[in-house]
Structure 1
Amino acid sequence: MLATPGTLPPAAQDARWAYETKQDGQRVVVYLAGDGSVVLRARSGEEITGAYPELRPLGAALGVTPAVLDGEILALDANGRADFQLLQPRMGLAHAPARAARLAAQSPVHLVLFDVMHLGGRSLLPLSYARRRGELEALGLEGPFWSTPAAMVGHGAQALRATREHGLEGLVCKRLDSVYEPGVRSRFWIKIRNMRSADVVVGGWVPGKGRLLASGLPGAVLVGQRAAGRLRYVGNVGTGWSEPEREQLAGLLRAAVSDVCPFDPVPQVAGARWVRPRLVGEVRYSTRTRAGMLRQPSWLRLRPDLTPEESAADLPDEPV
């Protein structure tokens, strides 16, 4: 079951919803057969058990009781916050057990469990979220590399504010009376992502595809921020424009065309076209990688009131 992007439920309906922290990890369905084994499957259906050997003991956590659980695999940073970049080296290692074991010993992942779909041979899919949550919490699934974080009923504005204050990815709102709908992006689950904004300098662009390519309009702009006296590339932005805004930006880019890349170091971007770094824009994004790259950026607006020198950012000395 998937969540639909949205906003907090109306205050008058607040008590009908539960609120969970939105996690930045790999969604997983956990199959416990009741014989001590565990099978992990990603959203695609691919089995990924071998990538996370530290989670194998979970297979014995319920004894002979079989269960199918819903959760998210996280890699935690030094502050205990989920960091998707830290998780990436572990993803894709389902068929590389030796490497997965080495990384598991160095930096074990943590599995958070937030729903139960089958238990003891019974399907819980028709039950309400509130009843399924009660069944899940009664299992007491707390271990060295897994846990069942609490959900807050009501107080949605307070919960969202807490995620922002603690630098977390966001909030998931779940209707207490909602049944579990496998594979459905349901309006009974609402996800709210905490987004940040930043001022960036446009240093290049890549052509669009299809109609955009034929009309010479950009598919994405390449943006950077000033750090340590140079313009550091922080990502490409390809969403957030209206058609008139895209056409306006295309004209500005054509007027600033250059043969010289303004970024230091030069990013490896296929098909990149460079421009003189004089346009400043504001973008919205979710988080940054450890190298300072923007994750999930989208365009907000041009900032003609700012100079390129005002786009300074606190970035790492060198990309990692």
Structure 2
Amino acid sequence: MLFQPIKPMLASMQKTFDLRNPDYFYELKADGWRCLLHKQGRKIEVFTRHGNRITERFPEFQAAADAIKVNEAIIDCEGVCYRDGRTIFDDFNYRGRLTDPAKIAVASEQMPATLIAFDVLYSIGTDHIKNDLISRKQILQEIIEPSDVITSTLFVDEIGDWLLEWTKQNHWEGIVAKHKRSQYFLDTRSSEWVKIKNFRTIDAVILGYRLKPNFGLIVGLHFPTISYKPVATVEFGFKPEEKEAFLGVAKQIHTFRDRNGVQWVEPLLCCEIQYLERTENHNLRITSFKRFLPNKNPEDCKWVS
């Protein structure tokens, strides 16, 4: 496995879960890119969950060689950039897409990245994927000396409700519940690892819609410096009758259809949507439709920090 792309084990997602189950660990869920760190001696390579090699884009990760106290290892991590005490997806996403060496050097100083380690697949000639999570966590603690470049994730036993509440108060993405006896199954979405995310809702004005490749509402919000700014295309959560009713009303307020197939409408209709996070460009990530708001004034659909 060493220095070969690996498809990691993935968590399933649930909105509710027993957060006091003694059979589970509860981890902080950081918001960045899933990364697999490979080490042999002084050599470090980092791959994304899709198998893309990104080592040169994060020169600071070379320092992880000193923080990992064994000669060989494969460590499962989340690559993140911190800002104001929380992980910012946009910052790491920006870093991960840079290819110009000069820009990479500047970015590594201005927004340094960290690897948050939460599992170990291999170390010093031994494959750990058939070990249970308890023993893998113990190995991870033994082989990593925490540093600015790599550190082990925070996890708790039984008090998952406390940890989830902490993430809400501190604007983190959520937590992951992991069965203590779970083995590591490559390229598998496991029911023994469960994501519990902190979704939020907001009232938005409908600016348009598309029918292909999937039906989606283009929704917008008012910001202090711009009105009716598109912030998301919402594709999920619609009942067939809600979609049909909307299309019947929308044809009466059509304005124009653009070359991308979006039918824009007069901004007269509002809806409530659920989202996971707002990006630095004020776009909403991982959205779903909740309900139409026939009595909502579109002027009141404002972003609230």
TM value normalised by structure 2: 0.91
SS at match of 2:52: coil
Query: Contact between 1:8 and 1:173, CA under 8 Å: does it hold in 2?
Result: no
The structure whose residues are more often strand, as a share, is: 2
Query: Contact between 1:36 and 1:63, CA under 8 Å: does it hold in 2?
Result: no
Structure 2 match to 1:264: none
1:47 to 31, 43, 53: 53
Structure 1 match to 2:86: 81
Moved over 6 A (4+): none
Change in 2 beyond 3 A, CA 1:62/1:140: closer
List runs of 5+ in structure 2 lacking aligned partners: 1-8
Q: 1:102: Cα distance to partner? A: 2.2
Residues 1-320 of structure 1 correspond to what in structure 2 (within 5 A)? 1-10=9-18, 14-33=21-40, 35-62=41-68, 65-77=71-83, 79-93=84-98, 95-209=99-213, 219-228=215-224, 230-259=227-256, 270-314=260-304
Query: Contact between 1:7 and 1:190, CA under 8 Å: does it hold in 2?
Result: no
Percent identity, please: 27
Q: 1:304: Cα distance to partner? A: 1.2
SS at match of 1:15: coil
Change in 2 beyond 3 A, CA 1:200/1:64: closer
TM value normalised by structure 1: 0.87
List runs of 5+ in structure 1 lacking aligned partners: 213-218, 262-267, 316-320
Q: 1:101: Cα distance to partner? A: 1.9
Question: 1:209-263, CA deviations, whole angstroms, 9 ceiling, x for partnerless residues?
Answer: 3xx7xxxxxx21111123347322222112111222211111121121124x9xx
Change in 2 beyond 3 A, CA 1:171/1:252: same
Question: 1:266-308, CA deviations, whole angstroms, 9 ceiling, x for partnerless residues?
Answer: xx98332211111110000011112322111111110113121
| Number of residues of Structure 1 aligned to a counterpart in Structure 2 | 296
- Separation of aligned partners in 1, 2:39 and 2:158: 32
Q: 1:8: Cα distance to partner? A: 4.7
Structure 1 stretch displaced more, 269-278 or 197-206: 269-278
- Separation of aligned partners in 2, 1:196 and 1:54: 34
- Separation of aligned partners in 2, 1:62 and 1:88: 25
